[in-house]
Chain A
Amino acid sequence: MRTEEEIRQSLRDWIIKTSGKILPEELTDETPIIERRIISSLQVMDLILFLERLSNKAIEVDDLKPGVFQNIDSIYKNFFEGGSIDRP
């Protein structure tokens, strides 16, 4: 079972590695990753699959609320504190 800090760190590591546009010291849990184009719409599919793997839960794109990918905080709250769907 991962702790909240471990999950947040995994998210930070994934974003830095995938984006290639931001340094670790520039990324906080409130940094707007979509608005600042740190993660592009074309990378969101990879992010969704990464979150499924990390949370062991299936994500239904049709059920996503606007703003869930805004920053690490919103991702953690929506996918790790509830809000997504358990894998059948």
Chain B
Amino acid sequence: MAEIARTVERLCEVSIKDYVNPYDLEWPESLDKAQWFTSPELISLYETPTYERLGEAARKRLSFFEAVNFFSINIHGEKSLIEGLAARLYKKGNDGISSYLHHFLDEENKHMVYFGGFCTRYAGKVYPDKKLVFRREYARGEEDFLFFAKVLIFEEIVDVYNVTMARDERLVEIARRINMLHHRDEARHLVFGRQIVKELFARHSPSWPSEALRGAREYLKNYLVSTWKEYYNPEVYRDAGIEAPYEAREEAFHTESSRAHRRRISEGCTRFLLDNGILDEEPAL
């Protein structure tokens, strides 16, 4: 806990120093859709036969809806995150981290201002969330551990996309800017996330029955896969004018180059989970 306390203190200082007003962001009145909004290599259909059949204009149009999907995924992820963070604020045992949870909450809300602003201004919609959560019983400390571990997995993947797209000069400026602003805060969230996940696992998992430990590991591996599945959205493909959108999703998800892409993007995250004994085998991505 002493290590976390030092990290929390340092992250709070940086959050205060880096404080930004999300309403300062300048939004173009309208956007020319004949531009790149997502790095082509990060488009979910990249290197699939469907993608190969598209001309450049159609690929750029697809890149716009992929950006709307990426921002929509973030909105839904951050909504759940805000709920979970708010529930843990000043909860018994969380005194040492509550000061940082305030920044975390504030920054996640700002991100939704960016993401929601882009989606509603330029697409007129946010793609709906298709996830459902069912209540279940947890071993002692398991629910908190899984909450922060899920947040970490989600944010680690997103951050690789953010870093890549913030640097990609082919992209429309507003798309680059949103990716950059998100990454600036996420870098801190990831430092906090890795420490809290490691600490909660070390504190609670030794007391879990072996079945609970196996279940938690299985759940996280499946969570990683289901997080990736959100990136393959048939509604995106339909909006981009692609015929047979569900078939395109199946094809894209099971293409070997897509698997390699998911493994590459998730590598930092899975390495962390394996090195700390949180996972005991590579997830089948």
Contacts and interface: CB of A to CB of B under 8 A. Distances in A.
B128 A45 contact: no
A59 B249 CA distance: 17
Interface string B216-233: 000100110110011000
B51 to A, nearest CB: 20
A48 B226 contact: no
A45 B229 contact: yes
Contact of B133 (A41, A43, A52, A53): A41
B230 A45 contact: yes
A59 B219 CA distance: 25
Contacts of B128: 60-62
Interface string A31-51: 000100000111111101100
A49 B246 contact: yes
Contacts of B131: 41, 44-45, 61
Given A43-B226, A45-B229, A53 B246 contact: yes
Of the listed residues A34, A43, A53, A60, the one surrounded by the most CB atoms of chain B closer than 10 A to its CB is A53
B23 interface: no
Chain B interface size band reads 10 to 19
A42 B222 contact: yes
B228 to A, nearest CB: 11
Interface string B114-148: 00000000000000111111100000000000000
> Size band of the A side of the interface?
10 to 19
Contact of B134 (A34, A45, A52, A62): A34
A60 B125 CA distance: 14
B234 interface: yes
A49 B131 CA distance: 11
A53 B234 CA distance: 10
B129 A61 contact: yes
Contact of A61 (B132, B134, B219, B230): B132
- Residue of A40, A41, A45, A59 with most chain B CB atoms under a 10 A cut-off: A41
Contacts of A45: 130-132, 226, 229-230
Contacts of A46: 226, 229
A40 B229 contact: no
A59 B226 CA distance: 18
22 contacts: A34-B134, A40-B219, A41-B131, A41-B132, A41-B133, A42-B219, A42-B222, A42-B225, A42-B226, A45-B130, A45-B131, A45-B229, A45-B230, A46-B226, A48-B130, A49-B249, A52-B234, A60-B128, A61-B129, A61-B130, A62-B128, A69-B132
Interface of A: 34, 40-46, 48-49, 52-53, 59-62, 64, 69
Given A44-B132, A48-B130, 19 more contacts: A34-B134, A40-B219, A40-B222, A41-B131, A41-B133, A42-B219, A42-B225, A42-B226, A43-B226, A44-B130, A44-B131, A45-B230, A46-B229, A49-B234, A52-B246, A53-B234, A61-B128, A64-B132, A69-B132
